[in-house]
Amino acid sequence: MGKKGKKEKKGRGAEKTAAKMEKKVSKRSRKEETFLYNELYVYNIRKDTWTKVDIPSPPPRRCAHQAVMVPQGGGQLWVFGGEFASPNGEQFYHYKDLWVLHLATKTWEQVKSTGGPSGRSGHRMVAWKRQLILFGGFHESTRDYIYYNDVYAFNLDTFMWSKLSPAGTGPTPRSGCQMSVTPQGGIVLYGGYSKQRVKKDVDKGTRHSDMFLLKPEDGRKDKWVWTRINPSGVKPTPRSGFSVATAPNHQPLFFGGVCDEEEEENLEGEFFNDLYFYDATRNRWFAGQLKGPKSEKKKRRRGRKEEPEGVSKTQGPVEVVKEVVAEDGTVVTIKQVLAAPGSVGQPQSEDEDSSEEADGPVPGPCPRSNAMLAVKHGVLYVYGGMFEAGDRQVTLSDLHCLDLHRMEAWKTLVEMDPETQEWLEETDSEEDSEEEVEGAEGGCEDEDSAEESSAED
């Protein structure tokens, strides 16, 4: 082929590459839209069904807010704060409004009371006796951001806010931590995330792993005190965005979360699906270990044949791989490293039932952050959340449950549906490979782009 033919072919290759890049940018701009909701759904445990409940005049669409259930008035759901972003990201702001859903009458009401917290996201709120206790969070604008460590109380009888000034040294400002009420009447706070500006346009994030106890001083409801605590036992690794619920024995339980690893100006998130319990009486952490499913067919007996000397039946971690296929045909692989049942924690007695199935690990919810937890009749329910796969963020809609009394195995109630997955960012693997081929033919170099991804609250 002559020089002219080579030059024409090179020109066509460059045009194809440019067109592909333009298509990629266009597709990415469409995929980077944000959609917020203000819908209300109810899950019926007996019927195993979701139902959308339409109630007039709900709160505006939002995310990263807090919702707390209380028994007053036949059952109420209180919602405070959160953030709003338009699909194209041009509009963004934080809420500081307070709403209550009256379950008995199925009506929404906005409660207007002065002296409350400023607009924020990523804060935490719990019900304590006849009050709502709120801590921390963050506020972000186009110019700057700020993290909070303030504490507010909302009285459910007088509908009045008050800012608390606890004695002692409390937590540093943060968001994405977890709060839970202990059986002794205190409030424990663990972990979280914050960042600070180290130089122009460069921020440094901090993963908190400290723990504090907030409780009334000398039994008084108007005077509180912070105490830093250092529990023993198997502690969770540093993380944020994990979820909390209360076990049947009134112990706080923690699930999942994300640990953001910073590399220069990029954030890479490591997601978790582990389970921890905190015993406030003993001030001790426990890792939630599953025993594995049991079988009536086979039981361990004391007189069974012993294993040859030097042979160990202890199993190592097993990697379980799941694949989620998007509508465009892209396959996202989710890898889980699972410990064998009973490998950590209390050993099973020789008289306990065992089965062949219990010899292998049973996968549960994939690693995720910001999942929703609920405990009903001693069963833990885990819904949704998000995780990252490369440059892609995935919003989940699956539902799992675990019997907290038996602690045998997870049960999947609703599988992940590829057709309803919320892909927040388009992957470029297929297009990049096509560009490499065309670039080789046309003499053009492939261009790579690096993007940041993180889960903060």
* H/E run at residue 25: helix 3-31
Q: Are 207 and 188 in contact (CB under 8 A)?
A: no
Spatial distance between the Cα atoms of 387 and 396, rounded to a whole number of angstroms: 8
Mean pLDDT within 317-342: 52
What residues does 125 pair with on adjacent strands? 134
pLDDT value at position 26?
39
Residue 440 scores a pLDDT above 70 = no
Spatial distance between the Cα atoms of 394 and 238, rounded to a whole number of angstroms: 22
pLDDT value at position 393?
81
Share above pLDDT 70 across residues of the chain, in percent, rounded to a whole number:
67
Lowest pLDDT segment from 128-137, 186-195, 408-417: 408-417
pLDDT value at position 401?
96
Nearest to 443 by CA among 2, 9, 3: 9
Say which amino acid occupies 205: G
pLDDT value at position 363?
72
* H/E run at residue 241: none
Mean pLDDT of the chain, nearest integer: 77
Domain boundaries, the chain: 234-291+364-419
pLDDT value at position 331?
54
Share above pLDDT 90 across residues of the chain, in percent, rounded to a whole number:
52
Write the secondary structure of 69-127 as one string of H (helix), E (strand) and C (coil): EECHHHCEEEEECCEEECCCCCCEEECCCEEEEECCCCEEEECCCCCCCCCCECCEEEE
Residue 15 scores a pLDDT above 60 = no
Predicted structure pTM score? 0.74
> What is the homologous superfamily of the domain 234-291+364-419 according to CATH?
Kelch-type beta propeller (2.120.10.80)
Backbone angles phi, psi at 86, to 5 degrees: -70, 160
How do residues 291-328 score in pLDDT, each as one tens digit? Answer: 887 664 455 444 444 444 444 444 445 555 555 544 44
Lowest pLDDT segment from 11-20, 168-177, 198-207, 388-397: 11-20
pLDDT value at position 267?
61
How do residues 230-280 score in pLDDT, each as one tens digit? Answer: 999 999 988 888 899 999 999 999 999 988 776 655 667 789 999 999 999
For the CA atoms of 245, 248, 250, 252, the dihedral, rounded to the nearest 10 degrees, stands at -30
